[in-house]
Amino acid sequence: MKLSSIFRSDRLSPEWTYTAEGTLWRLFCASGGRIVGECRDQDRKVASFFCLDENTGFPLWKNLQLEQAWWVGIEAVLEDTLLFHTYAKPDMPQHRGISAFDVETGALRWRNDDITFWFGGSGRAYAYRDFFEKRVGYELDLKSGNVLKSFEDSLQELHALRKDVAQTQDFTGVVLPEPLDTTATGDEVRSLLMKALRGATPSGSVEFVKEKDVVAFSYYLTTSNSRSDKPAYDNHLCVYRQPGESRLFSGVINENLALPVPDTFFLRGSRLLFLKNQQSLISLRLWQS
């Protein structure tokens, strides 16, 4: 089904669409208007990674694969550095190792297989390594991976620093949806939700964002599943502008899901970005900068 046919009556058309070669697993917003993504091919057991220009949706690089093809993931995006982790053992949750890549080019900067990422900020990455009788902490230069300082006797200084970093962390202008509490939400938002639902009853919680003059809702409605006796769910996205309750955008963005899943859209700057059928990332321009 074409996007143009779904959203023909709405006032906003998709600004750009990026379709991945697999399932979009995770997305991270980086500085400089960059979006880094993790894509997984379940059949081939291959994870790959890409970076988009947020203004155009054009990939600066894509199909980046690490030596460990499947048991790998994005640990963090710090400033202009992308950090990956592997695992202490396959199919075990404990992270181990750091591979640092340049966000802009996708080039490897440094790699350390012996340590585990902890937190980072202000041009530094902090990591640890477990030995037989103790845990040792490390302060590393984010760009080079050089160890600037070791913490062998105590980690108290790092625990305090981690709290300070968490309080001042920059989330690059991202606004995430939150569950809607119909008993606490204002009348205007409730009225828009009723307008979006058109008498239907959503399954699970409704997520919403209210930013400037825009209100966006994500909710799930049950649908028939011809492949199973179990219920299936369609994920609907509706975007309205106040005052006047004019509809900017609406439609089904994920179809025939086994369970409702959260976080299928977010705002950054002047854009709303959402996932379409867990494979495409689509941008809506809400405001002109």
Q: Each residue of 36-82: pLDDT tens digit?
A: 999 999 999 999 999 999 999 999 999 999 999 999 999 999 999 99
| Residue 122 domain flag | yes
Q: Which of 172, 206, 233 is the last residue of a domain?
A: 172
Residues 180 and 267 in one domain: yes
| Percentage of residues of the chain with pLDDT beyond 90 | 67
In this predicted structure, what is the pLDDT of residue 254?
Answer: 94
In this predicted structure, what is the pLDDT of residue 147?
Answer: 97
Q: How confident is the model at residue 270 (pLDDT cuts 50, 70, 90)?
A: very high
| DSSP letters for 177-234 | -EE--TTTS-HHHHHHHHHHHTT---SSPPEEEEETTEEEEEEEEEE--TT-SS-EEE
In this predicted structure, what is the pLDDT of residue 1?
Answer: 41
In this predicted structure, what is the pLDDT of residue 4?
Answer: 44
Residues 135 and 215 in one domain: no
The answer, yes or no, to whether residue 8 has pLDDT greater than 60, is no
Q: How confident is the model at residue 7 (pLDDT cuts 50, 70, 90)?
A: very low
Structural domain for 131, as ranges: 21-172
The answer, yes or no, to whether residue 6 has pLDDT greater than 60, is no
How much is the pTM? Answer: 0.88
- What's the whole-number mean pLDDT along residues 92-120? 94
- What's the whole-number mean pLDDT along residues 10-28? 90
Condensed to tens digits (0 to 9), the pLDDT of residues 133-170 reads: 899 999 999 999 999 999 998 899 999 998 887 655 55
Q: CB 131: neighbour CB atoms within 10 A?
A: 9
In this predicted structure, what is the pLDDT of residue 259?
Answer: 87
In this predicted structure, what is the pLDDT of residue 249?
Answer: 95
Residues 200 and 151 in one domain: no
State both tokens at 238.
């509706």
Kindly compute the dihedral angle of the four CA atoms of residues 17, 22, 23, 24, in this order, to the nearest 10 degrees: -50
Residues 243 and 143 in one domain: no
Q: Which of 172, 198, 219 is the last residue of a domain?
A: 172
Higher-pLDDT residue of 107 and 244 is: 107
The answer, yes or no, to whether residue 2 has pLDDT greater than 70, is no
Residues 162 and 180 in one domain: no
